[in-house]
């Protein structure tokens, strides 16, 4: 608990130094002549919502943690209480690729060297801009350690729930980083509901329609596809590795195909390979055989798809109770 509070204080201090020593300096008339043209009017691109993160930690979260200094076993409630506010990290991480690209253009400028010198920082700004990403990961590691010390005591259930919450936030952040790299999808991704899962798979197709030779080829040769599962739709994308300015590759996902979840069915087991499952569409008019990298990944995806279908079935039952039972029956068939 002491480590959690002490590192939180240090984190708040570091955020403050970035905002006052770098972000505010962009508005300092004395330093205008040092600001490179590529950085002009780009403060929000470089820093993202860092001021919002700083304000939350400095005014709310640090004080909340300090309130539990004498009752560390109850600190789980603090994380649960601030669950929604901690989602601000998703926005920060989504902006990170843009921030890094801008830093590559102007990071070696005299402006940043002067700011670093004034702050007496050993590390350059890009290292400090990684702090929020590192911090959100650190919380779940500390909660895991706390759980080891508090089995079956008061507050254990809240600690376990807090850990699950932080892991879920990290997953959402990670998923959203992949989502912003989707290209070629003509609709609005925000209309598809929450992004539940994303991952890479081998996919075979077996459709009723289409030329027989093409069908045969598709049946035997797998495609590498990155799947994005939303409440309302399943997207099939092709992953492309792109090199920017000779630096490390950043993936993008070229949209290829989509399936409305209201017309999707699933078969959990496929003959010959325990890591395969079937996703089918419109009464098996289109069939996709999906091979997961492991049994664990397969089971997670099958479970999540079934949850979506179940929630749709329950929603349809509510509608069919008021109207006709036919649509609800079509969804029941999807569980076969």
Residues 6+ apart with CB under 8 A from 256: 225, 236, 237, 238
Establish if 330 belongs to a structural domain. no
Q: What is the mean pLDDT of residues 20-31?
A: 94
Out of 180, 207, 237, a domain closes at 180
Task: Give residue 197's pLDDT.
Answer: 93
Task: Give residue 176's pLDDT.
Answer: 84
Are residue 189 and residue 175 in the same domain, yes or no? no
Is residue 177's pLDDT more than 90? Answer: no
Which of the two residues, 164 and 332, has the higher pLDDT score?
164
Do 317 and 326 form a contact (C-beta atoms < 8 A)? no
Band of pLDDT at residue 317, cut at 50, 70 and 90: confident
Task: Give residue 322's pLDDT.
Answer: 57
Establish if 335 belongs to a structural domain. no
Domain that holds residue 136: 1-180
Establish if 329 belongs to a structural domain. no
- Residues 55, 56, 60: CA angle, nearest 5 degrees: 115
Which of the two residues, 154 and 8, has the higher pLDDT score?
8
Total domains in the chain come to: 2
The lowest-confidence range among 5-9, 10-14, 220-224 is 220-224
Which of the two residues, 333 and 85, has the higher pLDDT score?
85
Establish if 80 belongs to a structural domain. yes
Establish if 216 belongs to a structural domain. yes
Are residue 24 and residue 165 in the same domain, yes or no? yes
Establish if 58 belongs to a structural domain. yes
Are residue 190 and residue 273 in the same domain, yes or no? yes
DSSP string, 194-223: -EEEEEEEEEEE--SSS-HHHHHHHHHS-E
CA distance 303 to 123: 45
Do 277 and 203 form a contact (C-beta atoms < 8 A)? no
Task: Give residue 335's pLDDT.
Answer: 39
Do 227 and 235 form a contact (C-beta atoms < 8 A)? yes
Are residue 60 and residue 168 in the same domain, yes or no? yes
CATH assignment at residue 231? 2.30.29.30
**89-114 residue pLDDT tens:** 999 998 998 999 999 999 999 999 99
CATH assignment at residue 1? 1.20.900.10
Task: Give residue 336's pLDDT.
Answer: 35
Q: What is the mean pLDDT of residues 324-328?
A: 42
What 33-39 contacts at long range (C-beta under 8 Å, 24+ apart), as own/partner pairs, is 34/109, 34/110, 34/111, 34/114, 35/109, 35/111, 36/105, 36/106, 36/109, 36/111, 38/102, 38/105, 38/106, 39/102, 39/106, 39/109, 39/111
The lowest-confidence range among 32-36, 270-274, 316-320 is 316-320
Considering the chain, what is the average pLDDT of its residues? Answer: 88
**225-281 residue pLDDT tens:** 999 999 999 999 999 876 555 555 678 999 999 999 999 999 999 988 999 999 999
Confirm whether pTM is higher than 0.95.
Answer: no
Establish if 103 belongs to a structural domain. yes
Are residue 82 and residue 161 in the same domain, yes or no? yes
Do 276 and 204 form a contact (C-beta atoms < 8 A)? no
Are residue 63 and residue 163 in the same domain, yes or no? yes
CA distance 262 to 265: 9
Are residue 266 and residue 169 in the same domain, yes or no? no
Are residue 258 and residue 158 in the same domain, yes or no? no
Is residue 132's pLDDT more than 90? Answer: yes
- What percent of the chain stands above pLDDT 90? 71
Are residue 83 and residue 214 in the same domain, yes or no? no
Are residue 16 and residue 155 in the same domain, yes or no? yes
Band of pLDDT at residue 137, cut at 50, 70 and 90: very high
Out of 180, 212, 232, a domain closes at 180
Q: DSSP H helical segments within 19-87, as ranges?
A: 43-47, 50-56, 62-67, 76-81
Out of 117, 147, 180, a domain closes at 180
Band of pLDDT at residue 213, cut at 50, 70 and 90: very low
Task: Give residue 207's pLDDT.
Answer: 73
Task: Give residue 180's pLDDT.
Answer: 87
Please, is 277 exposed, middle or buried when counting C-beta atoms within 10 Å of its C-beta (0-12, 13-18, 19+)? buried
Are residue 22 and residue 108 in the same domain, yes or no? yes
Are residue 139 and residue 187 in the same domain, yes or no? no
Establish if 1 belongs to a structural domain. yes
């Amino acid at each position: 608990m002491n480590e959690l509070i002490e590192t939180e204080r240090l984190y708040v201090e570091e955020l403050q130094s970035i905002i006052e020593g770098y972000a505010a300096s962009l508005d300092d008339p004395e330093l205008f002549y040092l600001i490179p043209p590529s950085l002009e009017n780009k403060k929000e691109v470089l820093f993202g919502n860092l001021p919002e993160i700083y304000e939350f930690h400095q005014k709310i979260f640090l004080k909340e943690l300090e309130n539990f200094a004498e009752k560390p076993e109850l600190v789980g409630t603090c994380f649960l209480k601030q669950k929604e506010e901690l989602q601000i990290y998703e926005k920060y991480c989504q902006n990170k690729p843009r921030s890094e690209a801008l830093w590559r253009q102007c990071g070696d400028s005299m402006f940043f060297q002067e700011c670093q010198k004034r702050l007496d920082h050993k590390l350059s700004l890009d290292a400090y801009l990684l702090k929020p990403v590192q911090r959100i990961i650190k919380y779940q590691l500390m909660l895991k350690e706390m759980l080891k010390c508090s089995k079956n005591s008061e507050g254990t259930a809240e600690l376990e729930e807090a850990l699950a919450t932080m892991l879920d936030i990290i997953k959402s952040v990670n998923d959203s980083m992949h989502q912003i790299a989707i290209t070629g999808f003509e609709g609005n991704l925000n209309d598809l509901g929450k992004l539940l899962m994303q991952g890479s798979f081998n996919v075979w197709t077996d459709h009723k329609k289409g030329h027989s030779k093409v069908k045969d080829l598709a049946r035997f040769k797998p495609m590498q596809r990155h799947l994005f599962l939303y409440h309302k739709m399943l997207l099939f994308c092709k992953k492309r590795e792109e090199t920017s300015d000779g630096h490390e590759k950043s993936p993008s996902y070229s949209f290829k195909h989509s399936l409305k979840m209201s017309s999707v069915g699933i078969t959990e087991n496929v003959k010959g390979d325990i890591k395969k499952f079937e996703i089918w569409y419109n009464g098996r008019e289109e069939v996709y055989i999906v091979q997961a990298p492991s049994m664990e990944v397969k089971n997670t995806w099958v479970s999540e798809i079934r949850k979506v279908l179940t929630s749709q079935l329950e929603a349809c039952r509510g509608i069919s109770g008021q109207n006709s039972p036919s649509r609800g029956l079509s969804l029941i068939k999807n569980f076969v």
